[in-house]
Amino acid sequence: MANSSPAFPHASKMEVLFSKSRIAERVREIGAQISADYAGTSIVLIGVLKGAAIFLSDLARAIEVDNTFDFVAVSSYGRAKVSSGAVKLIKDIDNSIEGKHVILVEDILDTGLTLSYLRGMMLQHKPASLKIATCLDKPERRLVPIEADYVGFQIPNRFVVGYGMDYAEHYRNVEDIRLFPEEAVGH
Ligand code: 5GP
Ligand code: MG
Ligand code: MG
C-alpha cells in the first residue's frame, strides 16, 4: 500500500489505545449526558476541522436533543505534530449563534491554546451558553487554563492518530484511536 513507507507505518502496526467499540460506548454516554443537560432546547454543535469531524458526526447522532452543526477551521503554525501557539481562524461559522446554546466540539484538548482562542471568539457572538466537548484530553500538556465540560477520555502525553486525528493528514479514517510510534515522529 502507498502509505506503508517508514514515515507512514500502517495503522495495524500501532497499539490500540481506545477501540472502535470503546469509543462508540463512550460517545453514547456523552450523548446521553448532553441530551439530559439540554433537554427541551436546541443545540448548535461547532466542530473544529478537520480532526473533530468524525467525533462530531457520531456525537450529533448520540444526542437526542434537536441540533444543528457548523464548523470552524483554524491553523496553527509549525510542525504537523505540535501546536506552535499561534492560532489563526481560516474558516468562520456560517450561521449566527447569538442567543443559541453552543457546544464547541474538538478532537483533542492539548495545550488549550486552540480552544481558548475559539472560546473567546465564540463568546463575542453572544451565545446563550457555551460548552466544550472533546474526544480526548491531555491535561498534563496544558499551557493555558481551560477545561472541557464533556471529555471522552483523558490520556497521557502521547501522540495519537485515528478517529479523525491525523499525522500529516493521514490516519483520520482509522477507526480505533492508536498510539503513533515515537520513532516515526522525528524530533
Ligand atoms: P492545542 O490544545 O494544543 O491548541 O491544540 C490541540 C490540537 O492539536 C488538537 O485539536 C489536535 O488537532 C492537535 N493535537 C494535539 N495532540 C495531538 C495528538 O496526539 N494527535 C493528533 N493527531 N493531533 C493532536
Ligand atoms: Mg483539533
Ligand atoms: Mg492535526
Question: 22-53: per-residue pLDDT in tens?
Answer: 999 999 999 999 999 999 999 999 999 999 99
ipTM for the assembly: 0.96
Question: To test the ligand 1 pocket, which listed residue (83, 141, 171) has its Cβ within 8 A of the most ligand atoms?
Answer: 83
Distance in angstroms (rounded) separating the CA atoms of residues 42 and 97: 12
- CA-based angle 59:154:91, to the nearest 5? 50
Cell reading at 89: 481562524
Is the pLDDT at 114 greater than 60, yes or no? yes
Residue 82's pLDDT band (boundaries 50, 70, 90)?
Answer: low
Residues 6+ apart with CB under 8 A from 140: 156, 157
What pLDDT sits at residue 6?
A: 73
What are the residue ranges of helices labelled H in 38-138? 53-62, 113-124
Question: What is the set of domains in the chain, with CATH numbers?
Answer: 20-181 (3.40.50.2020)
> Which atom of ligand 1 is nearest to 171's Cα?
22
Q: 40: CA distance to ligand 3 center in Å?
A: 35
> Strands 129-137 and 160-161: what pairing?
unpaired
Buried (b) or exposed (e) across 21-33, using 16+ Cβ within 10 A?
eebeebbeebbee
| DSSP state at residue 118 | H
Q: How far is the CA of 175 from the centre of ligand 3 (A)?
A: 16
CB distance 159 to ligand 1 below 6 Å: yes
164 lines ligand 1 (CB under 6 A): no
Compute the distance from residue 137 Cα to the ligand 2 centre, in Å: 11
Q: Give CA–CA dist 137/152, Å, rounded.
A: 8
What SS3 class is residue 22?
helix
